[in-house]
Structure 1
Amino acid sequence: MVAPAFLALGDSYTIGEGVPEQGRWPVQLVARLHDEHVELLAPRIVATTGWTTDELSAAMDAAHLAPGYGLVTLLIGVNNQYRGRSLAEYREQFLALLERAVVLAGDARRVIVVSIPDWGVTPFAEGRDRAAIAHEIDAFNAIARDEAHRAFARWVDVTGISRDHAGEVVDDGLHPSARQYGLWADAILPEARTALRELPPQRS
């Protein structure tokens, strides 16, 4: 029996800016599942540093993705916040991405929405209004969480981890270290395990 396919959608936090491939949280997640004898193929990652919701959507178009994934993760929005884009626009575009993710997975319960981390706590944000950044990140996350719950997709909050481990970043002073990504993988693991063990096999 072929192991389920895994699609990870996002931006710099999903591609793992500044860490080796094995340090990316989707790769670490697969390794943890394998340790538990839960089969999952290596992730197909559609993510690039700097992407906003509309840029991820365009990249998905270019990637010609087709249904049949056993697990799909979606983590997007930090660049919408960073560029000062509106919450209303984010909700509309995030919902469209989530709907596409559900189609690709065949079941909303195979989709895991991951919260946006708080870059305002990192050394990169020195001299900026950290409280304002946190407030905005929370507002974007509230939308993502609301839409995930409405769609019956899974939700995992890693924002608290990012705030508790603010100093665990790569040399750019902004992006998480492989160790912090490992903590994200630990947080996502229970939802991924449940999705893969309890749902019937996906048919492409």
Structure 2
Amino acid sequence: MAQDKLLYLALGDSYTIGEAVDADKTWPKLLSDNLNQRGVKIQLDKIIAKTGWTTDELLVAIEDEESLKNTKFDIVSLLIGVNNQYRGYGIKQYEKEFELLLKKAINLAGNKVSKVFVVSIPDYGVTPFALENNKNSDLIAQELYKYNSIAKNISDEYGVRFFDITPISLKAIWKKDFVAEDKLHPSAKMYADWVEYIEPGVFQLLKD
């Protein structure tokens, strides 16, 4: 049977599965829907993501996923690292494992770097959860900046498109409806803002 839609694979953690929002309001699903409306026939074929996953856990999950063995995707996204920071994992571990994950993403995209994109880690330090639990918002911001700098530098080295949505996540400081009911994760409205920013670039990647 001939493939009539481009296949999209999303790799990540709670931000990719959209913890605390409806499945049709996650950013990968919104992105797919919007692209379809623009005439790009794309299907969110698979999501490999789980709340709480760190880079090493995502690596294991990809290795264990039998359905990936003989499948190549037309577009692959990667967003990972917040739980490394939250658990206090070392920067060096993130650097090493993020690069391994990016290599796997490229391989899953048929070794086409132009069909892979990375999304930055949002800043959860401004959420009610962080504030109510006396988290150090400044320290979280500083550490996530380091993580995102690593992800961007490695993405640049490989020629992979990097979308920095972290500034959008900061709007949660005054936009209370940008945070889900769990007081920690982005709401559907924030995800929609991410997609508004990401979509033109992904559209370009798929058209090239």
Tell me, yes or no, whether TM beats 0.5.
yes
Please give the secondary structure, in 1, of the residue aligned with 2:5. Answer: coil
Task: Give the aligned partner of residue 188 of structure 2.
Answer: 178
Deviation at 1:39, TM superposition (A): 1.2
Matches within 5 A, 1:4-19: 4-19=6-21
Deviation at 1:43, TM superposition (A): 3.8
Please give the secondary structure, in 1, of the residue aligned with 2:51. Answer: coil
Task: Give the aligned partner of residue 110 of structure 1.
Answer: 115
Residue of 66, 72, 76 corresponding to 1:72: 76
The one-letter code matched in structure 2 to 1:76 is I
What is the CA deviation profile of residues 75-117 of structure 1, one whole-angstrom value per residue up to 9, with x for unaligned ones? 0000000000011010000000000000111201110100000
The one-letter code matched in structure 2 to 1:139 is K
Task: Give the aligned partner of residue 146 of structure 1.
Answer: 153
Distance 2:83 2:155 in 1: 19
What is the CA deviation profile of residues 114-169 of structure 1, one whole-angstrom value per residue up to 9, with x for unaligned ones? 00000001001112211010000000000000000000011001100000234311
Deviation at 1:42, TM superposition (A): 2.3
Matches within 5 A, 1:2-151: 2-64=4-66, 65-66=68-69, 67-106=71-110, 107-126=112-131, 127-151=134-158
- 8 Å contact from structure 1 (residues 27, 43) kept in 2: no
The one-letter code matched in structure 2 to 1:142 is S
Return the TM-score normalized by structure 1. 0.94
Deviation at 1:62, TM superposition (A): 1.5
- 8 Å contact from structure 2 (residues 17, 50) kept in 1: yes
Task: Give the aligned partner of residue 201 of structure 1.
Answer: none
Distance 1:22 1:137 in 2: 28
Distance 1:43 1:19 in 2: 19
Distance 1:43 1:84 in 2: 33
What is the CA deviation profile of residues 9-51 of structure 1, one whole-angstrom value per residue up to 9, with x for unaligned ones? 0000000000011110000001110111011112411000000
The one-letter code matched in structure 1 to 2:21 is V
The one-letter code matched in structure 1 to 2:170 is R
Higher relative contact order (CA 8 A, sep 6+): 1
User: Mind listing any 5+ residue stretches in structure 1 that lack a counterpart?
Assistant: 199-204
